[in-house]
A and B are shown apart, each in its own frame.
Chain A
Amino acid sequence: MVPLYWYVLLSAALFTIGVVGVLSRRNVFIVLMSIELMLNAANINMVAFSHYLQNLTGQIFVIFIITVAAAEAAVALAIIILLARNRGSVHVDEFNLMKG
């Protein structure tokens, strides 16, 4: 059988890759997909613990996370369409209207 911590380490690796993607990429699509990646890393954790603790709550939470991710993707893509339409760019480092 696979030890629990293997799953946790895998999830940590995927999460970190997601973080680096969010922080370093300029293309807003890839930033968003990196966020999805981070959510998936959390999902793996949830399901792994659910399996090892013999408790269904973890899986229930994954369902909710997927729901929220779907809603988030819908709204985020709408925002991206607006951005591309109004500013002609999908590069995050070109948006700094909030500069102090």
Chain B
Amino acid sequence: MLKYALIPLLPFAGFLIAGLFGKYLKERAAYAAVAGVAGSFILSVSAFIDVLGGTIIDENLYSWFAIGNLTVNVGFQIDQLTAVMLLVVTTLSTLIHIYSVGYMHGDKGYARFFAYLELFTFFMLVLVMANNFVLMFVGWEGVGLCSYLLIGFWYEKKSASDAGIKAFVVNRVGDFGFLLGMFLIFLTFGTLDFTDVFAALSGPAAAQSYMLLGAEIGVMTLISLLLFVGAMGKSAQLPLYVWLPDAMEGPTPVSALIHAATMVTAGVFMVARCAPIFSLSPTAMTTVAIVGGLTAVFAATIGLVQNDIKRVIAYSTISQLGYMFLGLGVGAFAAGIFHLTTHAFFKGLLFLASGSVIHALSGEQDMQKMGGLKRKIKVTHGVFLVGSLALAGIFPFAGFFSKDEILWSAHNAGEVGRVLWMLGVFGAFLTAFYSFRLIYLTFYGKSRIDHEVEHHVHESPKVMTIPLVILAFFAITIGWIGMPGAIIPHANLFGDFLAPVFPVLEHGVANHGLERWLMVFSVMVALAGIRLAYSLYVKNTSMPDRLARSFKGTYNLLLNKYKVDEVYNFIFVDGLVHRLARFLYNITDVKIIDGAVNGIAGMIRRTSEGSRKVQTGFVQEYAFVMGLGLVVLMGLYYVLK
């Protein structure tokens, strides 16, 4: 058990070292940090091998607190799902830590950065290893906190600290749902341990229903929907996705680790972990699938016209998260987790590679001021291309296998599924288009780089490129572990590995012929997207401007991200929050709280002015009072006895 407990504790130790002694260690703090995650990675591999050998851990370390009939333990559960997540989190975390050694070099918050990153890794591991909802929530909030700290890492920049606050507040809305879901689970089942809750699902408690707004809603549906609200916040789904693009204000390794590979997938993980609950409610499943599908296309359309290199990838992340939820929603839980895994690698790669581009251009993020970089930064270009091919879902890169499995499951999931499949294929087209628009604008064509910057263009140091190459290798190969039956029968190692965790909800029968045709079709669609990007941004470079002019309304709507931020601002921030805040300030704060505080202070002052006269300073008078106490006590004894 100690081995498993050390998986989260090693990064925590690294956090303590880097955080407490960062001032003295300076850049050496990175060694402690990398050592912490690397140790955690090695232990995770060992844990994975244990699980592969059939050892499922579900053990309580100690009792955290017990109130009434609620007992919350600190305990770890390591099953197939957790093992996969452990590998994903620790691999990415280790590589990104190494990359950051080079990327953050010379930053004045160097040690602080690694301390936060370590703390994040700790909380993420707690989240995936928890064996009950409360501990999972601890990790859930912890990663949210670290996300806030790291988005606002350059806190002297106003936009960065604003983005941190926005992420925190939007996540709070989701967490509210998660909390309510947890309460309802406890109310229904009287426990919060995963095993106990899932065991009780077949009992009578799960069949209850509530009357809400005149409609009868089953308790399982209600719990699922509330939990899904939490997942929407953390995993940036419609309508709570607005924080993720702004989160790109943080350093690029943070975007890669937290806002692409791990934290934002926590929602997906949570839904997958609660698969037994969700699978009892068709309504909730459909909701998850529809929200996922809509988000996938919606975010992709915004990504089409963005000019900030990191924002394009951010919208792509939202869109890919949508695919994951689409997969979960149609009952293909393993496919969703599979996409989570492949996405973690290729999207982490894309972010780190874009960080390398930004590094090469001395901090420039606007793609309109790039171009022609292919010759100058060859390694970055190569890995970027691999990442984009994986993202676009071209055979045999990783994204192809996972996205295709999701689309195939959607296609099999009835009429709604068929519509979602169409959305997904359309999204795949958009994905291919924007990812290659990114490639062409950045690496091809004529250089639009500022002159001062152009002299300094240089390839990143080895400590950054080696993690990139490793990630690129995974971005190609990681998909092969989930080989669909249509290509090589009975070779879906990933699906088989996860099969014990998830309920079986397969629709229809395997139809390898049709599946093969659909695969070819989706690859064709993706290739068409790439071709379109090629003709618009390499061949005929004046075309995009003309298009933008002739479809001015649409273009501006997309460029301004559907003005969702403005609408939210108008309704929630200005309308609700400010008015409420003014009320709270004028009435509650000034009148009630300040009044009470000042009143109590005044009362205490008057009392003490009176009572200080008692303090004469003469020791004998104090002694007399003691003697008086003796007399009174003895008198009391006499009276009472």
Contact = CB atoms under 8 A, between A and B. Distances in A.
A95 B620 CA distance: 11
Contacts of B640: none
Contacts, number: 32
B615 A99 contact: yes
B617 A22 contact: no
A7 to B, nearest CB: 19
A23 B612 contact: no
Contact of A100 (B615, B623, B624): B615
A98 interface: yes
A100 B624 CA distance: 18
B627 interface: yes
A52 to B, nearest CB: 22
Contacts of B616: 96, 99-100
Nearest to A93: B618
A92 B620 contact: yes
B608 to A, nearest CB: 9
B627 A100 contact: no
Interface in A44-100: 92-93, 95-100
Interface string A1-43: 0000000000000000001001110000001000000000000
A99 B623 CA distance: 15
Interface string B612-632: 111111111001100100000
B618 A92 contact: yes
Interface in B319-333: none
B620 A23 contact: yes
A84 B613 CA distance: 28
B469 to A, nearest CB: 76
A98 B623 contact: no
Contacts of A19: 627
Contacts of A97: 617
Nearest to B627: A19
A31 B624 CA distance: 13
Nearest to A97: B617
A99 B619 CA distance: 10
A96 B617 contact: yes
A23 B627 contact: yes
Contact of A92 (B613, B619, B624): B619
B619 A100 contact: no
A23 B615 contact: no
Contacts of B618: 92-93, 95-96
Contacts of A95: 617-619
Nearest to A35: B623
Contacts of A31: 620
Contact of A93 (B613, B614, B615, B620): B620
Top 4 A-B residue pairs of the complex, sorted by shortest distance between their CB atoms? A100-B615, A96-B617, A99-B617, A100-B612
24 contacts: A19-B627, A22-B620, A22-B623, A23-B620, A23-B624, A24-B620, A92-B618, A92-B619, A93-B620, A95-B617, A95-B619, A96-B616, A96-B617, A96-B618, A97-B617, A98-B615, A99-B616, A99-B617, A100-B612, A100-B613, A100-B614, A100-B615, A100-B616, A100-B617
Given A98-B615, A99-B617, 11 more contacts: A23-B624, A93-B620, A95-B617, A96-B616, A96-B618, A97-B617, A99-B616, A100-B612, A100-B614, A100-B615, A100-B616
